[in-house]
Amino acid sequence: MALSYKARRRWALVILLVGLPLYVVVAVTLTDWLRARFDGLPMLVELAVFVGLGILWALPFKAVFRGVGQADPDDKG
């Protein structure tokens, strides 16, 4: 079932305002755990983890975000 343009805009807003901050907390917690587990991480490894997690969060939501910044295709005006 395809979401309407308005539904995709609303879900994108919920994802950005609620989901993304929660994901940031999880990513920082994971990195802190890795830092404690391996007695510190090299800066490039830590950077790679953050970049990977930064890309990873958006992949499941590509369909929701696609075209949200464009004009409403159903708008007749």
Statement: residue 77 has pLDDT above 70: no
- pLDDT tens digits, 39-76: 888 889 888 988 999 899 889 988 888 888 888 887 77
Does 1 reside within a domain?
no
In total, how many domains does the chain have?
A: 1
pLDDT of residue 12: 92
Alpha-carbon distance of 68 to 38, in angstroms, equals: 41
Does 12 reside within a domain?
no
Does 41 reside within a domain?
yes
Does 43 reside within a domain?
yes
Domain that holds residue 46: 26-64
pLDDT of residue 1: 64
- pLDDT tens digits, 5-45: 888 999 999 999 999 999 999 989 988 998 899 888 888 98
Does 9 reside within a domain?
no
Does 72 reside within a domain?
no
pLDDT of residue 5: 87
Does 55 reside within a domain?
yes
Which H, E and C letters describe the chain, residue by residue? CCCCHHHHHHHHHHHHHHHHHHHHHHHHHHHHHHHHHCCCCCHHHHHHHHHHHHHHCCHHHHHHHCCCCCCCCCCCC
